[in-house]
Amino acid sequence: MTIEISSIKREPTYQAAKAVAGTVETHFAYHIATARERGELELAPEPDAQTVEAIIDATFWASLRREEGNSPKISLAFVPPEQVNQPLIFEQALPLAPDVLTKLGPAVERPGIHLGVWHERDELRVWGATRSVPSFCFVLEVIEPGLLVIKHRRMDGFGKYANVAVLKGEQIKVIDEQGASLPDCPALLASLLAFTSPGSWDHSINLLVQLAASMRAHGHGGSLLVVPAGTENWRQSIVHPVLYSVIPSFSALADLMRQRLSPENEDPTVGAVRKTVDTVAGLTAVDGATVMNDQYEVLAFGVKIRRPEGSPQVEQIVATEPIVGDRAIVVHPVQNGGTRHLSAAQFVHDQRDAKALVASQDGRFTVFAWSPCDRMLHPHRVDTLWL
């Protein structure tokens, strides 16, 4: 007699799932309860530790399998079908098992599609698929074999999901929500760490978040230098002549940011912002750095960074990653990345009122800012926030 593996009730065997489940349960319970106290509606159900462990375990083992030679890239959402818009519902719910998830992978590998998981009698089952999830919905995404990200949709639904934890094999990285309280924390990093209500979500900062996400997504690597408007000091730190100088400055993003959003124009405006963001992010793929002022006007791209005459070479930086248990370490810049990172470090070291966003081809992403408290350059490695 042949028995399908998926018909057998499995006990979790992935140890990292058990180790992180309680932390994840506490995270979602706290934020969902806080949202309810604020009067928020249409919130996701709270996942308990047992549910979290079971979903992570099945998804982890599925990520190590292959279907027709390809590794699955799937996303699971813990939500009942009646709580989402236009769900695709299977006639018969399927077991939450690695072989089932692997088989379904090709159908839901496009971004924004989640397999829906919910309780049926005494077990978790896959009921179908959905493109929409409620706020604070527990979502688990497979990035690559053995690399999983736990996340949820932000309260306002605008911008990328907020990451909660990253699991790679037996390594667990839990995002440090309190990282935003550091005195030198750049506004961009604070925005990435935000788990708060729509009222605290600064859409001007969200624009930088979108730019950073688009830079990372194009996969070519790139640098975006954000300089103060109304000053030409940044030109001291680049090689002249500038091959791709933009005159007049490209102000499409600035013009969009000046528009007032209303129910009538919100959708087309948001769509236009995303297209323009991708246009600007595409410039960062050109060899060299893109320069944009803090009013979102693009001034140049493909620029080469140089050390101004008389300026010392940066020798020390204080590096951090916004995860629980991380400690700031002082290192030489070469320990933080390659040529692109080194040049960005020198630029911000010399132009201390500027910021630099640097994406590597391997997916590493760093936000460079000057730290007045430490009196040295502070690169914030934010890979865990982008996955």
> pLDDT tens across 226-250, in order?
999 999 999 999 999 999 999 999 9
Select 181-386's CATH number: 3.90.550.10, 3.90.230.10, 3.40.1700.10, 3.40.190.10.
3.40.1700.10
pLDDT for the residue 204: 45
pLDDT for the residue 177: 67
Give residue limits of the domains in the chain.
5-174, 181-386
What are the start-end ranges of the E strands in 75-234?
75-78, 88-95, 114-120, 123-130, 139-144, 147-152, 162-168, 171-174, 222-227
pLDDT for the residue 197: 35
Q: What is the phi-psi region of residue 275: left when phi exceeds 0, alpha when psi lies from -120 to 50, beta otherwise? A: alpha
Q: Which residues of the chain have pLDDT under 50?
A: 1-7, 157-159, 180-181, 191, 193-205
pTM for this entry: 0.68
Contact yes or no for 56/140 (Cβ under 8 A): yes
Residue type, 312: P
Give dist(CA 190, CA 202) in Å, integer: 10
HSE-CB of 291 using CA atoms within 13 angstroms: 28
